[in-house]
Amino acid sequence: MSFYTALSESQFFDAARTGDLAFINQRISANINVNLQDEKGFTALTLATYNNHADVVKALLKAGADINLKDASGNTPLMGISFKGYTDLVQLLIDSGADLNSQNGNGNTALMFATMFGQNQIVSLLLENGADKSIRDARGLTAADYAIQKENTEALQLLQK
């Protein structure tokens, strides 16, 4: 990889992180690989979702970004934001075909993350869209177990419906 290629890729990731839609569109027009991954396995889509840049997320998805591509820890973009409270962006990812039941290296799912961090609106949204509440992580815990551990009674009620 040349210095200029590495610089261009770094700028692409920075643009996704900061929400620079014009630069993202310019790179997409120049046929950049929208599924490039940085040293942590993050893609531009991961960075744009994590920083709540819906317009960049839409552009990347339209350009063919893999919505379920996992980072080095096995997290998908949906997992990466399920604990942040970005309800509209979670809905966008769901509507765009995100795998609701994907598990990371520890067996955690987006539903588990939302439960652990008290994002009960996202817990509800994931359940309404078919997230599997019976999935167990590597330690044998379900989202309901996390709700109990975190004393998240609202999530527990949602998970027991």
Q: Which is nearest to 49 in space by CA: 20, 96, 86?
A: 86
Looking up tokens 């290629």, which residue turns up? 5
What is the reported pTM?
0.93
CATH 1.25.40.20 domain span(s) along the chain: 1-66, 76-160
- State the average pLDDT over residues 130-152: 98
Kindly provide the b/e burial profile for residues 106-140, where b requires at least 16 CB atoms within 10 angstroms of the residue's own CB. eebbbbbbbbbbbbbebbbbbbeeebebebebeee
- State the average pLDDT over residues 60-69: 98
Architecture category of domain 1-66 in CATH: Alpha Horseshoe (1.25)
| 57's tokens | 């997320």
Query: Is 76-160 assigned to CATH 3.40.109.10?
Result: no
Contacts of 98 (CB under 8 A, 6+ apart): 67, 68, 76, 77, 78, 110
Residue 153: its pLDDT value, please? Answer: 98
